[in-house]
Structure 1
Amino acid sequence: MNRFPLKTSAVLLLALATGSAGGYWAAQRQQSHAPQAAAAATPERKPLYWYDPMVPQQRFDAPGKSPFMDMPLVPKYADDDSAGGPPAVRIEPGIQQNLGMRLATVSRGRLDRKLQVTGLLTFNDRDVALLQTRAGGFVERTYTLAPGDVVKAGAPVADILVPEWAGLQEEYLALLGTQDPALREAARQRLLLAGMPPALIAQVARNGRTRPVITLVSPIAGVIRELDVRTGMTLAAGAPLARINGLGQVWLEAAVPETQAAGLRAGQTVDARLPAFPDRPVTGTLASILPENDQQSRTLRLRIELPNRDGQLRPGMTVEVSLDLAGQSAVLQIPSEAVVRTGKRNLVMLAEDQGRFRPVEVRLGQENGGLVAVLHGLEEGQQVVASGQFLIDSEASLKGIEARTQDPPAANRAMPSVHEAEGRIVAIGAQGVTISHGPFNTLGMPGMTMTFPLARPELAAGLKAGERIRFGVSQGDAGLVIEQVSQQEAQP
C-alpha cells in the first residue's frame, strides 16, 4: 500500500525540479536580453556641436581640447536646455513645484505712487508781526507777558511815554480853533511825522487834552516769540519790542529722497497724521518745493501748509505725511519681489519654454505698492520668477551664466565681423600669440589669457612679449583668429 505514494511523490519532485530549472533558464535569458532591448529602445544621442563653457558662443564640430582654456570641450545635444539659445538653467516642473516657485507676467499699466515721509511742524514765517516804537521815550508799564505766551489781536503789551508828543499835541489843539484849515492840517502832519498813530490824534482832537502816553498792542493773534521790553527802560525810535508769530496756519517741513521726487507739484493735496492726534487727520497743501538740495542726505525739502483753526498743532510736533504722486499711464511693471538687487545692478529670472530660466539685467523706475516699473530689459507678456529666484540665480552663477540685457530682434541686430579688445602679449610661438586680454564686448566674452592663431604670418612682425596691443579677431569654425593688430604706447 505504501509503494504507490512513494512513486507519486518522486514524480512530483521531478516535475518541480524540471519546472524550476526551466523558469530559472527563462529568467536568465530574459535578463541577458534586457540590456539589448533597452539599448535598442533608447536612440543614440548625437551632439549638435562641442563648446567651451567659458566661451559658449564658440562652437566646434568635433570633440577635443579647448583652445581657450586647459579643459576638454563639452558636447551640446539637441534636447539640452540651452541649445539654440542663450545659456540658461533648466528646472523640471516637479522641482519647480517643490521649490514653491511663482511666476509673474510683465504687464503694462498705470503705476501711481504713494510716498510716505515724516516731517516736523514749524512756525509760518509769513504770518509774523513786529512791534516797534515810532518815537523815543520811556516804558511806563508792561503787562506781565513773556516769550511763549499766546495773545489775541489788540492785546496790550506796554505803555510808552513820549515827551516830545506833549508839545506837538498842545500846538495841534491850539490850531484847531483857528479858521485856517491849512494850519490845522500842517499841525496834524507834524504829529504823524513824529510817530503818533492816527487813532491817537483823533482821540486828542475829540477830548481836547494832550495824551503823551501810548499803549502798544499786539497787531495779530499769535504767540510771542521775542519780548524785549521792561518797565522803566529807555527806548529809541524804531526799537523792536516784540515779535509775534501767528498760529492760524503752521508749516510742515519734510524731506523727500531726490530719487523719489518725480511727480511732486506745488499745490497738490497732502494728507497728514499726527501721533498726538491719531484720530484727527489733517489735510494740507504742498506750498513749495525748496530749490536747494541737501548734499548730505540727497533730499529735497518740502514746505506744506496745514490749517490750525483750533490751535492744537504745535511747532515741533512730528507728523506722518502721505503724498499721492501721479505715475506714467502705460509703463511696464513687475512685482518688486521678483527683482534680485545686487547693489551694482538689478536682475530678474526670465522664464522661457521647457522649464528654462536665465538671468536678465533690467533698469528700474519708480516703485509703489509692491510693483516696480521696468524701463529697459523686458517686454510685455514675458514671465519672470517672483518667488525662488535666488536659488536660480545661485545655480546660474555656478554654471557661469552671466546676466545680459534683453537682446534686440535678430533683424535689428548686426554682428560685427571683427571683434576688438585690448591686451598684453604674453608669448609668441608657433601656435600663435598668447595674449592676456580684456573683454570682447561684442562677443560677450570676459577677459582672460589665451592663445590666438594668426590669419596671416606677417601680423606678428614687430611684436614683442610684454607689449600692449589692440587687436581684432574673427570668429570661424577654427575658433577666434587674429585679423588685425595695432601697437599701443606703453602706459606709465
Structure 2
Amino acid sequence: MTTRSLSPARLALAGVAIAALAGAGGYGVAHLQKPPSPPLATAGAAGAKPLYWYDPMVPAQHFDKPGKSPFMDMQLVPRYAADAAGGAAPGVQIDPATTQSLGVRLVAVVRGDFADGLDATGVLDFNQRQVAIIQARAAGFVQRVYARAPGDIVSAGAPIADLLVPSWGGAQAEYLAVRQSGGPALEAAARQRLRLLGMPDSLIEAVARDGRARTVVTVSTPQGGAIQTLDVRQGMTVSMGQTLAQISGLGSVWLNAAVPEALGGQVKVGRAARAELAAFPGEVFTGRVTAILPTTQIDSHTLQVRIELPNPAGRLHPGMFATVHLSGAAHPALFVPSEAVIRTGKRSLVMVAGDGGRFQPVEVQVGREDANRTEILAGLGEGQKVVASGQFLIDSEASLAGVQVRPLASATVPQSAAAPPKAALYETRGRIEALTAGAITLSHEPVPAIGWPAMTMTFRLDPPSLAKGMKVGDQVGFGFEQKPEGPVIRRLSPAAGQ
C-alpha cells in the first residue's frame, strides 16, 4: 500500500471549497431558523409618523428614535397615534387569516332571563318544632319499664313506663263515693279535682267505668319519632314534673344549608329548594326555606339557611349530607359566556372586538353565574362582540404592546346615531315608607350595579304621577337614574303578588 501526499496548492484549494460549503450551509440554516414576524401588531396607519418607540417587554419606557433596545436583544417598536391611549382606535389589530389560525371565536353580549339560583351544601337535622317532652304528672314510683332505649323509633301511643302513684287512690275513692250518692254537679266537681291532680281523662273514664280505684298509670308517647333521651329506670322514685323521656318527630326534617355570605341577599323565606343525597342517587327531595338564621358563621363566612323537607316514609335521617339547589325567579340581565371573562384577581376583563380586526381589553363588573353564563352588571352593552376563545393570546399581545385597559368608570355603550344616549336605569325592589307629592321614601333591596347595600332613602319622582294609587306599606319594583342632584325614579310599579 502506497501513501500519496498532497501538494500545498491542492491543500489550499480544498480549504477554500470547504469554507464555501460551510458558509452556504450556515446561511441556509440561519435562513430556516429565522423567526417569523409576529402575527399581531398594534394598530397604526400606514405611513403615519410614530409618536415614539418602545420595547414590548418594557412598554412604559419611551424612546424618541428607532434602534436596539437597551433592555433586550431586540429592535424597538414604533407607537403610532392610533395606538395611543385616547386614540380613535385603541387596541391590537389582527388580520383575518391570523384570526382564523388562532381560533378566535366571537360572541355577542345578549340580554335574557337569568335565574336567581345558587348551590350550597347542608346537613339534615331533627325538626325542633316536633319535639315532645314526657313528664311525670305526680310523685310516685316506677313499677315497670318497657324495652326502650335512646335512638329507638316509636309510634304514637307507645308505652314508656308504668308509674305507681299512691296519692291518687284516696282521690279516686272520694270520686266514686260522690258519683254514687251525689248529683251531676258534685260529680263534675269531683272529676275536675282528679284532672287537677294530674290524672289523664282515659284513667278517669276507666275508674268511672270499673268502679274501682286505679293507682298505676302507663306513660306513653304523644307522638311518633325517635327517642332522644330516656331517664327512667325500674324501681326509681319520680317527682311531679320530672322529665322521663324526649321524643323528636320524623314527619319532617330540617336541612341546614351553608350559603356563602356574598350570596345571602339572593335567599328569601319561602323560596323553593331541591336536595340531593348520596344515600338516594337519582332522587330529588323538594322543600321550602322556612328561616334564615340571624347569625353568620365567622370562620366560614356563611349564612345558615333552614329548609324543611317532608319525610313521610322516614327515609331521611338527621346527620345525612345533602347538596342543595335554591331556585328563584328569573330576571332580565346582560350576560356573556363564562369562558369570555378573564379574571386577574383584582378585576375582570373581556376582549371587545371592534372594526377592522381591532381588539381592546375592557374592564367589566360581573355578577351571578348560571349554566356557563356570567352576568355583566357594568362595562358592556347589548350587541357588543367579545372574544370567547383565544382571548388570552390577544390579551398577552395587548400587554406587550402597552395597550391600556378601558376602565370600568369610562366604559360606554355604543348608541345608535339616530337615538340620543340613554341614562342607565338601575332596577330593584322595596317597600314604601313615606309618600309626598314629588318624592317617595323606600326601604329597598341592594343595588349591586352601583354597590348600594339595602337601606332606606328618599327618591324624587319624575313624573310625580308614577305613585298614583299607591300607599305606605306597598311592595314595589322601581327603576331609577343617578343624577347630580340625586337619584330620580323613572319607573314604579306594584311588586309581583301585590
Q: Name the TM tier (shorter chain).
A: 0.5 to 0.7
Question: TM-score, length-normalised on structure 1?
Answer: 0.67
For residues 190 and 83 of structure 2, what CA distance do their matches in structure 1 show?
Answer: 108
User: Could you report, residue by residue, the CA deviation over 1:54-110 in whole angstroms, capped at 9, with x for unpaired residues?
Assistant: 9xxxxxxxx679xxxxxxx98655887989425311222222222111111111121
Seen in structure 2, the aligned counterparts of structure 1 residues 45 and 348 have a Cα distance that, compared at 3 Å, is: closer
2:390 is the counterpart of 1:388: yes
Seen in structure 2, the aligned counterparts of structure 1 residues 181 and 45 have a Cα distance that, compared at 3 Å, is: closer
Moved more, 403-412 or 151-160: 403-412
Instruction: From 285, 291, 296, give the equivalent of 1:293.
Output: 296
For residues 49 and 89 of structure 1, what CA distance do their matches in structure 2 show?
Answer: 16
The one-letter code sitting in structure 2 at the alignment partner of 1:188 is: R
Task: Check conservation: 2:121, 2:322, Cα contact below 8 A.
Answer: yes
User: Could you report, residue by residue, the CA deviation over 1:127-160 in whole angstroms, capped at 9, with x for unpaired residues?
Assistant: 1111001111100000010001111111110000
For residues 264 and 207 of structure 1, what CA distance do their matches in structure 2 show?
Answer: 60
What CA RMSD, in Å, does the superposition of the two structures yield over aligned residues? Answer: 3.1
For residues 336 and 267 of structure 1, what CA distance do their matches in structure 2 show?
Answer: 30
The residue aligned with 1:363 is: 365
Instruction: From 330, 335, 338, give the equivalent of 2:337.
Output: 335
For residues 215 and 396 of structure 1, what CA distance do their matches in structure 2 show?
Answer: 84
Seen in structure 2, the aligned counterparts of structure 1 residues 407 and 310 have a Cα distance that, compared at 3 Å, is: closer
Question: TM-score, length-normalised on structure 2?
Answer: 0.66
* Deviation of the 1:51 alpha carbon: 4.7
Task: Check conservation: 1:46, 1:77, Cα contact below 8 A.
Answer: no
The residue aligned with 2:208 is: 205
* Structure 2: gaps spanning 5 or more residues: 1-44, 56-63, 67-75, 415-419, 422-498
User: Could you report, residue by residue, the CA deviation over 1:404-444 in whole angstroms, capped at 9, with x for unpaired residues?
Assistant: 225448999xxxxxxxxxxxxxxxxxxxxxxxxxxxxxxxx
2:201 is the counterpart of 1:170: no
User: Could you report, residue by residue, the CA deviation over 1:17-50 in whole angstroms, capped at 9, with x for unpaired residues?
Assistant: xxxxxxxxxxxxxxxxxxxxxxxxxxx9643562
Task: Check conservation: 1:111, 1:368, Cα contact below 8 A.
Answer: yes
Task: Check conservation: 1:81, 1:356, Cα contact below 8 A.
Answer: no
* Deviation of the 1:316 alpha carbon: 1.2
The total of aligned residue pairs comes to: 359
Moved more, 83-92 or 163-172: 83-92
The residue aligned with 1:50 is: 51
The residue aligned with 1:239 is: 242
Alignment of 1:334-353 (within 5 A): 334-353=336-355
The one-letter code sitting in structure 1 at the alignment partner of 2:306 is: R
2:133 is the counterpart of 1:127: no
The one-letter code sitting in structure 1 at the alignment partner of 2:327 is: D
The residue aligned with 2:403 is: 401
* Deviation of the 1:199 alpha carbon: 1.8
Seen in structure 2, the aligned counterparts of structure 1 residues 407 and 150 have a Cα distance that, compared at 3 Å, is: closer
Instruction: Describe the SS at the equivalent of 2:281.
Output: strand
The residue aligned with 2:157 is: 154
The residue aligned with 1:374 is: 376
* Deviation of the 1:202 alpha carbon: 1.7
Alignment of 1:264-279 (within 5 A): 264-279=267-282
Seen in structure 2, the aligned counterparts of structure 1 residues 77 and 219 have a Cα distance that, compared at 3 Å, is: closer
Instruction: Describe the SS at the equivalent of 1:177.
Output: helix
Runs of 4+ with >6 A deviation: 78-83, 409-412
The residue aligned with 1:25 is: none
